[in-house]
Chains A and B, each alone.
Chain A
């Protein structure tokens, strides 16, 4: 793991969103239900390091990112920044601390106030944190724009005059304006074209090297994480299922969900026309989760124990890896490609996308 004091530590973070109950529910005295968006996550980020969080919808990665930026209050657990507990900061102390962690949002359209000009938007953190006004803010913004690849003469323009990539750069400039120690990047590439994604990712890595910032990169785009991250945590339904260094994890995934995720990524290879993806089932809702492993309903390697007992996140022997799977050792060497069948499944017999029958070469 990382040496020295980690920059950011998350200790058993949980975030539950209570579901509003109807009068009938309240009268019936059934226990209140909640959505367990983040259910016990512990991670660390070292200074200058990039932690990638991969997951799909419902994984809780966005909620976790917002908790780091203190836009959500954790239901339980704690966040430590440079060794100090910052979970319960309030008021002025919170506002002053905010300059250490900034966030770039997913939505390039909604995250910029359409009625403000570029220099006001990008300079807002400067104004809030350092109390500068007017011309001083403009000068700071003018100096900042080239570092994200924007021309200096666009200070007075409005966000809607920029393309998606341009807006994402504006959000990034805003986050950089107070020189934070860590930036949470929530899906920075998902609304962008491939070529622009590459430019933004290059820029992010370059800025990290020059400024020594850490990133928490939240995305479902595996390729972005492959390039930009040092360590990766895979999340499913509010929990971490696997965690390790990026190269090792992506080349030899252990957890069945990680394998399923990597196998699902489309590849520009014409022979894929004949492949069939064999992981079925939808991502279940976060309410009323069944006991046992959360991936059990869809897992191709499931055994009875998985449906009863929730696997804890444990280190693997002889590797820098944490995995939450009862069968981690047995399935560790099975490649993601085995989750892709190459013969067409018959139309009415075995429906495509269902769990493969146990007579396959997968250990059961």
Chain B
């Protein structure tokens, strides 16, 4: 049994703002193995984007606080890593694809330069110029702090290491010739025909679908161990979204990174993920293989969500929706956070929050990927209308 690439254990994240404390994420655990795609689905405010940004520690830490839990990435707990060492983790360790590529691509640089920069970062890592997650399974040792700088030491030591200037000059030459081939290769990987034509274009001169492909190319060119895709197709037109999803489905097979895919759209998750986690009000309420969860949801919220997608005609009566509204995360309801809106609610639901337990009571709860539900009455869910 291989180790998971990322192992999130009981993670809690709170925001402190003027009006109070928000429990954005509470007690979330998940594991992703190499080559696996885990989808997280949920509505606005459920905390899925917060979770996605917390894993590479991209959240601004003053308003956000990691209240508890661990994020173990290839053996190292990212929560304990000091801030200035975090850039080593990102990029070549964890890659991210964001929702709106017009914002995530630098408008002042051409396509070639943006992808070349990602490739260069990976180059530095491979050459050992930058400490990062070297090779396969060696976890980076963050326990040894960097040597403190003494006055005497800094005076005698040269600021620029020997040979660095020549290396930089050689690197600049390499940029245009060697990198070019690799850039073209990555552009072809994301199914852009005639990539030479777009090398010199700026992001605003490209369509949304192209920009997203370039983002994917940039993320993949760093060969990350974990790829986090946060609503990557939500800003695209329907037909373009279908194209990009097809591309991602094929790349998933070719690339063996672990992938965390966030979306609000159940259909998109169905197309890409192996396992799905449903989030509500900061907690994972159901988890399991995609086919099983869709076929037989075991949490009232999941069931309601599947039913709420409009799929009928006006003459067939009103659409199913979920009564009530998403709770205010500064004062979440006691116990199970779905209880104000749940058709199965009983007194016990307002007491202790139900644990995310396997629906098959006889199974070993530590088996990864087993179908779990955070509901005391998971067995009654299939009987709901």
Residues of chain A lying within 8 A (CB to CB) of residue B247: 352-353
The A-contacting residues of B in range 183-212, CB under 8 angstroms, are 188, 191, 193, 207-210
Residues of chain B lying within 8 A (CB to CB) of residue A196: 321
A277 close to chain B: CB less than 8 A:
yes
Flag if A194 contacts B239 (CB, 8 Å).
no
Closest chain-A Cβ to B26's Cβ sits at a distance in Å of 20
CA distance A195 to B188 in the complex (A): 39
Q: A260-B239, A275-B271 are in contact. Are A201 and B294 (CB under 8 A)?
A: no
Which of B237, B250, B269 is in CB contact (< 8 Å) with A57? B237
B181 close to chain A: CB less than 8 A:
no
CA distance A201 to B325 in the complex (A): 16
Flag if B267 contacts A282 (CB, 8 Å).
no
Flag if B250 contacts A352 (CB, 8 Å).
yes
Instruction: Sample 10 A-B pairs with CB under 8 A, ordered by A number.
Output: A194-B264, A206-B318, A220-B237, A226-B311, A227-B312, A268-B309, A273-B271, A273-B290, A276-B250, A283-B237
Can you list, as one digit per residue, whether each of A330-353 has a CB less than 8 Å from chain B (1) or not (0)?
000000000000001101100111
Q: Which of B237, B253, B268 has the most CB of A within 10 A?
A: B237
Closest chain-A Cβ to B374's Cβ sits at a distance in Å of 19
CA distance A271 to B209 in the complex (A): 24
Closest chain-A Cβ to B9's Cβ sits at a distance in Å of 28
CA distance A27 to B90 in the complex (A): 52
The A-contacting residues of B in range 111-129, CB under 8 angstroms, are none
Which of A57, A197, A271, A276 is in CB contact (< 8 Å) with B310? A197
Flag if B309 contacts A194 (CB, 8 Å).
yes
Flag if B267 contacts A268 (CB, 8 Å).
yes
Flag if A279 contacts B264 (CB, 8 Å).
no
Among residues of A, the one whose C-beta sits closest to the C-beta of B341 is: A195
Among residues of A, the one whose C-beta sits closest to the C-beta of B292 is: A270
Which of A164, A227, A263, A353 is in CB contact (< 8 Å) with B44? A164
Flag if B320 contacts A268 (CB, 8 Å).
no
Closest chain-B Cβ to A355's Cβ sits at a distance in Å of 11
Which of B188, B207, B265, B326 is in CB contact (< 8 Å) with A282? B207
Chain B contact residues (Cβ within 8 angstroms of A): what range?
35 or more
Which of B238, B268, B290, B305 is in CB contact (< 8 Å) with A220? B238
Can you list, as one digit per residue, whether each of B308-351 has a CB less than 8 Å from chain A (1) or not (0)?
11111110001111100110000000000000000000000000
A198 close to chain B: CB less than 8 A:
yes
B243 close to chain A: CB less than 8 A:
yes
Closest chain-A Cβ to B321's Cβ sits at a distance in Å of 4
The B-contacting residues of A in range 192-221, CB under 8 angstroms, are 193-199, 201-202, 205-206, 220
Residues of chain B lying within 8 A (CB to CB) of residue A276: 246, 249-250
Among residues of B, the one whose C-beta sits closest to the C-beta of A277 is: B242
CA distance A194 to B308 in the complex (A): 6
Tally A residues with Cβ within 8 Å of B: 55
Closest chain-B Cβ to A274's Cβ sits at a distance in Å of 8
CA distance A110 to B245 in the complex (A): 31
Could you list 16 further interchain pairs (A-B, Cβ under 8 angstroms) beyond the known A198-B320, A269-B270? Answer: A164-B44, A194-B305, A202-B319, A220-B237, A226-B311, A261-B239, A266-B245, A267-B267, A270-B291, A272-B271, A273-B271, A273-B272, A277-B243, A344-B253, A351-B193, A353-B247
A56 close to chain B: CB less than 8 A:
yes
Among residues of B, the one whose C-beta sits closest to the C-beta of A282 is: B207
B381 close to chain A: CB less than 8 A:
no
| List of 6 A-B pairs having minimum Cβ-Cβ separation, nearest first | A266-B267, A264-B242, A198-B321, A270-B291, A277-B242, A268-B266
- Chief secondary structure at chain B's binding surface: helix
Residues of chain B lying within 8 A (CB to CB) of residue A246: 313
Flag if A268 contacts B246 (CB, 8 Å).
no
Q: A56-B237, A201-B310, A205-B318 are in contact. Are A347 and B250 (CB under 8 A)?
A: yes
A32 close to chain B: CB less than 8 A:
no
A141 close to chain B: CB less than 8 A:
no
CA distance A127 to B239 in the complex (A): 43
B241 close to chain A: CB less than 8 A:
yes
Can you list, as one digit per residue, whether each of A181-200 has a CB less than 8 Å from chain B (1) or not (0)?
00000000000011111110
A1 close to chain B: CB less than 8 A:
no
Residues of chain A lying within 8 A (CB to CB) of residue B322: 195
CA distance A20 to B314 in the complex (A): 45
Flag if B250 contacts A344 (CB, 8 Å).
yes
A247 close to chain B: CB less than 8 A:
yes
Flag if A264 contacts B311 (CB, 8 Å).
no
Residues of chain B lying within 8 A (CB to CB) of residue A352: 191, 243, 246-247, 250
Closest chain-B Cβ to A183's Cβ sits at a distance in Å of 16
Residues of chain B lying within 8 A (CB to CB) of residue A230: 314
B77 close to chain A: CB less than 8 A:
no
Residues of chain A lying within 8 A (CB to CB) of residue B321: 195-196, 198-199, 202
CA distance A267 to B250 in the complex (A): 18
A280 close to chain B: CB less than 8 A:
yes
Which of A201, A263, A264, A277 is in CB contact (< 8 Å) with B319? A201
B256 close to chain A: CB less than 8 A:
no
Flag if A227 contacts B246 (CB, 8 Å).
no
Flag if A247 contacts B238 (CB, 8 Å).
no
B137 close to chain A: CB less than 8 A:
no
Flag if B239 contacts A193 (CB, 8 Å).
no
B59 close to chain A: CB less than 8 A:
no
Residues of chain A lying within 8 A (CB to CB) of residue B325: 163, 165
B306 close to chain A: CB less than 8 A:
yes
Flag if A264 contacts B239 (CB, 8 Å).
yes
Closest chain-A Cβ to B302's Cβ sits at a distance in Å of 11
Among residues of A, the one whose C-beta sits closest to the C-beta of B291 is: A270
Flag if B246 contacts A198 (CB, 8 Å).
no
CA distance A354 to B270 in the complex (A): 23
Residues of chain B lying within 8 A (CB to CB) of residue A206: 318
Among residues of A, the one whose C-beta sits closest to the C-beta of B318 is: A202
Closest chain-A Cβ to B290's Cβ sits at a distance in Å of 5
Q: Which of B209, B311, B313, B314 has the most CB of A within 10 A?
A: B314
A93 close to chain B: CB less than 8 A:
no
Which of B43, B268, B269 is in CB contact (< 8 Å) with A194? B43
A241 close to chain B: CB less than 8 A:
no
Q: A227-B313, A276-B249, A282-B209 are in contact. Are A261 and B238 (CB under 8 A)?
A: yes
Flag if B313 contacts A353 (CB, 8 Å).
no
Flag if A226 contacts B239 (CB, 8 Å).
no
Among residues of A, the one whose C-beta sits closest to the C-beta of B254 is: A347
Q: A261-B239, A268-B270, A273-B271 are in contact. Are A195 and B245 (CB under 8 A)?
A: no
Which of A197, A228, A265, A271 is in CB contact (< 8 Å) with B314? A228
Flag if B270 contacts A277 (CB, 8 Å).
no
Residues of chain A lying within 8 A (CB to CB) of residue B265: 266
B102 close to chain A: CB less than 8 A:
no
